[in-house]
Chains A and B, each alone.
Chain A
Amino acid sequence: GAGVSQSPSNKVTEKGKDVELRCDPISGHTALYWYRQSLGQGLEFLIYFQGNSAPDKSGLPSDRFSAERTGGSVSTLTIQRTQQEDSAVYLCASSTSGLTGEQYFGPGTRLTVT
């Protein structure tokens, strides 16, 4: 079956521009996660959505970062006024349950801010 898909796979943007990254989770998965993986760093938790509950935004690094999940399915991570330190791979994952479900990761979007 289809796994988690992310688009675009690569994004190059100029400093100060806004970017939108998209995640299509596995059908039927109620939990969705965003992570950031920087060079030499581990995966950093950004945000978690579970069903209709309020998202856990505790990992978002600044107010330039925001995310939405529409209809309990597709999610968009938006970074406003991008900075060079935002350059990283942004990974999305989904699971059947936030508490016990295995997280299935997408291939990521590599963001480069010039």
Chain B
Amino acid sequence: TQLLEQSPQFLSIQEGENLTVYCNSSSVFSSLQWYRQEPGEGPVLLVTVVTGGEVKKLKRLTFQFGDARKDSSLHITAAQPGDTGLYLCAGGGWGGSNYKLTFGKGTLLTVNP
């Protein structure tokens, strides 16, 4: 069974601070996706990384996929209250099963004004 462990589970910071969320596994994934979920809504895809060592930047968010394709990180610079939410990482299966995503339990981020 593939497992993805996210840390920290909870994170409460002040507006303007930087933060990093980690996603680790002993399994190798074809891709790694990061989602953000707000209360009462479904997750929304933020990014997909598919190449080991890949780094993607989206405004204040930086995503990295580990060289061995087993881990990933999400770094947010100068966090804002609008960044508050549940951040989920998900690893894709291989070959014909790459649609089958394995999700971590999530990091609940609260950014206080």
A-B residue pair count with CB separations less than 8 angstroms: 54
Residues of chain B with a CB closer than 8 A to A107's CB: 40-42
Chain A: interface residue total (CB-CB under 8 A):
28
Give the size category of B's interface with A.
Answer: 20 to 34
A45 B106 Cβ-Cβ under 8 A: no
How close is A95's CB to chain B, nearest CB, in angstroms?
A: 8
Whether a CB of chain B sits under 8 angstroms from the CB of A70 is no
Q: Name the residue in A4, A33, A42, A59 with the highest tally of chain B Cβ atoms < 10 Å from its Cβ.
A: A42
How close is B92's CB to chain A, nearest CB, in angstroms?
A: 10
Binds B, one of A13-21, A71-79, A80-88, A96-104: A96-104
Residue positions of B touching A, CB distance < 8 A: 4, 40-45, 48, 88, 90, 96-106
Residue positions of A touching B, CB distance < 8 A: 4, 31, 33, 35, 40-45, 48, 50, 56, 58-59, 91, 93, 95, 98-100, 102-108
